[in-house]
Structure 1
Amino acid sequence: MNYDGLSKLGYGVYLVGAPDGKGGGNALLANLVMQVSSEPLMVCVCIGKENLTHDQIAAAGKFNISVVGENADLEFLQLFGFSSGRDTDKLAKAETKEYNGFPTVVQNCVALLECEVTGRTDCGASTVYFANVLSTRTLAPGKAMTSSYYHDVMEGKASQKAPAWAARYEK
């Protein structure tokens, strides 16, 4: 299949985090986040089933979305996109604050959404979680990073575990 058309879809760069049930949490780099309703205010996120954050969202029924700013560097993004929370305490290596009852990454982020899961849809290797947005806030001035900025300006790569990987890298 030719994936060229899919590579033209617009994506952002987000950290999706969830509590671990022990007072901590985890977060991963995601680009499949979108607002799906304004009344009630709802979003959806697509998370790969192999990820620890996937299991934590399923167990806790809540997650936070930290919108990454263009000021983030590749090392920071690679921590959340290329390491597993099963092996690495990623939150220990970033500035966090407690939102929605668990530590949430605020470093290099321009906005935050606190979310409560209302439903989910199985999508093969991924799950799409639908959620009510409990609150939003601006964390810092600056532009939100887009996937195009990450790939074209920063020359960042996508993990093969990312749901949108095929759209950019398979030929």
Structure 2
Amino acid sequence: MNLLFKISCGLFVLCAKAGKEESGCIINTFLQQTAVPETFSITVNKRNFSHDLVEQSGECVVAILSTETDFETIKRFGMQSGRSVDKFDGIDFKTTSIGIKVPYIKGIMGYFALKVLKTVDMGTHTMFVLSTVENKAFVESGDALTYDYYQNFIKPKPEIKTIERTEKWVCKICGYIHEGPLPPDFICPLCKHPASDFEKVQ
């Protein structure tokens, strides 16, 4: 049993913009820290393009995902880089009061528009402490998407072809399959998790 998967947390779309550059990514670290004043925090991998945009602009938007989210939304925002693709191309979106786009599609319950109060260097990640500028609900009801629900009901199960003898390793986070020996410094090209999050396909 991997206890990390048993820690209850949600899944969210982090959206950011700096100058003409804009992007979004999937995070599972959006937390309310205080009620009065209303403050939140997010922790973002420094390899993510969205991390750089939040750092540069001091602003971001966090969209709340629901259990109606499909895997295509997770793929769009979590398994490709905003440095090379426009993640908002071809989908409906709203522009918030701070000028940052937020997806307006099935599975998005609403959003918080936020300003950065302070940052904490976490090594591979940065923690951003945030204050609320505005929040808006897109739906009146529904269940927020948790990481556990995503793992069990949304993430596709990897197809294992037993007739092939090539050594294979599967990412326990996103399902990406690596063929051949797994180097200790390997980084998943989809979700950016390290080799320790891969398990050998038997």
Q: TM-score, normalised by structure 2?
A: 0.75
- Once the two structures are TM-superposed, the CA of residue 8 in structure 1 deviates from its matched residue by 1.5
**Contact map agreement 2:14 2:27 (CA 8 A) in 1:** yes
Q: Could you tell me which runs of 5 or more consecutive residues in structure 1 were left unpaired when the two chains were aligned.
A: none
For the residue of structure 1 that corresponds to 2:115, the secondary structure is: strand
**Contact map agreement 1:48 1:162 (CA 8 A) in 2:** no
For the residue of structure 1 that corresponds to 2:121, the secondary structure is: strand
Tell me the distance in 2 between the aligned counterparts of 1:38 and 1:98. 26
- What is residue 59 of structure 1 aligned with on the other side? 56
Kindly report which structure 2 residues correspond to 1:107-126, keeping only aligned pairs within 5 A, or say none: 107=105, 108-126=107-125
- What is residue 154 of structure 1 aligned with on the other side? 154
- What is residue 18 of structure 1 aligned with on the other side? 16
Of residues 51-60 and 86-95 in structure 1, the stretch that sits farther from structure 2 once superposed is 86-95
- Once the two structures are TM-superposed, the CA of residue 106 in structure 1 deviates from its matched residue by 2.4
Amino acid of the structure 1 residue aligned with 2:82: G
Amino acid of the structure 2 residue aligned with 1:144: A
Q: Could you tell me which runs of 5 or more consecutive residues in structure 2 were left unpaired when the two chains were aligned.
A: 157-171, 175-187
CA RMSD of aligned residues (A): 2.2
- What is residue 38 of structure 2 aligned with on the other side? 41
- Once the two structures are TM-superposed, the CA of residue 7 in structure 1 deviates from its matched residue by 2.3
- Once the two structures are TM-superposed, the CA of residue 12 in structure 1 deviates from its matched residue by 0.5
Amino acid of the structure 2 residue aligned with 1:45: I
Tell me the distance in 1 between the aligned counterparts of 2:62 and 2:142. 17
For the residue of structure 2 that corresponds to 1:110, the secondary structure is: strand
Residues 112-161 of structure 1 deviation map (CA, whole Å, 9 limit, x = unaligned): 10100000111111101010011222112322111111101113563547
- What is residue 26 of structure 2 aligned with on the other side? 29
- What is residue 165 of structure 2 aligned with on the other side? none
Amino acid of the structure 1 residue aligned with 2:15: G
Q: TM-score, normalised by structure 1?
A: 0.87
Structure 1 residue ranges (4+ consecutive) displaced by more than 6 angstroms after TM superposition: none
Task: Mark the structure with the bigger radius of gyration.
Answer: 2
Tell me the distance in 1 between the aligned counterparts of 2:34 and 2:149. 26
- What is residue 197 of structure 2 aligned with on the other side? 169
For the residue of structure 2 that corresponds to 1:151, the secondary structure is: helix
